Amino acid sequence: MLNQSYEPLNICRVRRAIPLLDQGKAEMLENGRGFIHTVRASFAIPSVIRLDYVVRRPRQRQRMTRLEIFNRDSYTCQYCGQESNQLTLDHVSPRHQGGQHTWENVVSACARCNRRKAGHTPKQAGMKLKRLPGPPKDSYNFNIPHKYRSTKTEWRKYLPG
């Protein structure tokens, strides 16, 4: 669902989108896959809709959560480069060695690499980071869940970056 200014707001279900379209509160930009048939009418399943009015949302600073770290790292292990949705968090400088729980010290890692590193720094474990961690580059607070990244390709043109 996009704002009037084409800014992504959220991911809504077809059950929510069809009444918005039927009431004239939104327009369909991308047709989904197929139709929903009722007794009186048939409705195309929308994939992307745009509201006809502006929804004002305050810009929030991104909190450091598992999901935000996985999104920042593009669901990729920062040691071996494997893309997966079965990732863990790893402290580059382990907490027992004085490492902090900050954007600059936490990365996504697959379970195999996390076990291999095992409470050491990457240098001690003989591993190298693919990219240095840091806060997300943009303050934009909309992320697509991993399960939709490869199946909903029509959404990409409406996302920043």
User: Which domain CATH number covers 94?
Assistant: 1.10.30.50
The number of domains in the chain is: 2
pLDDT of residue 77: 96
Same domain? For 31 and 79 the reply is: no
Residues 10 and 36 occupy one common structural domain? yes
What is the pLDDT at residue 43? 85
158 in a structural domain = no
Asked if the structure places residue 79 within a domain, the reply is yes
User: In this structure, is residue 60 part of a structural domain?
Assistant: no
Question: Are 26 and 50 in contact, with CB atoms under 8 Å apart?
Answer: yes
Question: CB-based contacts of 78: which residues, under 8 Å, 6+ apart?
Answer: 90, 107, 108, 109, 129, 130, 131, 133
Q: Are residues 50 and 2 in the same domain?
A: yes
- Find the range with the poorest average confidence among 7-11, 65-69, 150-154: 150-154
- The domain of 39 spans 1-55
Record the pTM: 0.59
pLDDT in tens, 89-105: 999 999 999 999 999 99
* 114 lies in some domain: yes
| Higher per-residue pLDDT: 129 or 161 | 129
- Are residues 48 and 90 part of one domain? no
7 falls in which pLDDT band (50, 70, 90)?
confident
- Residue 139 in this model has a pLDDT that exceeds 70: no
Give dist(CA 148, CA 57) in Å, integer.
Answer: 24
**Any idea of the CA torsion for 35, 39, 40, 44, to the nearest 10 degrees?**
-10
| Domain assignment present for 130 | no
The string of DSSP letters for 129-150 reads -SS---S-S--------HHHHT
Report yes or no on 148 lying in a domain. Answer: no
Alpha-carbon span 72 to 33, nearest angstrom: 30
| CA 144/CA 159 separation, integer angstroms | 9
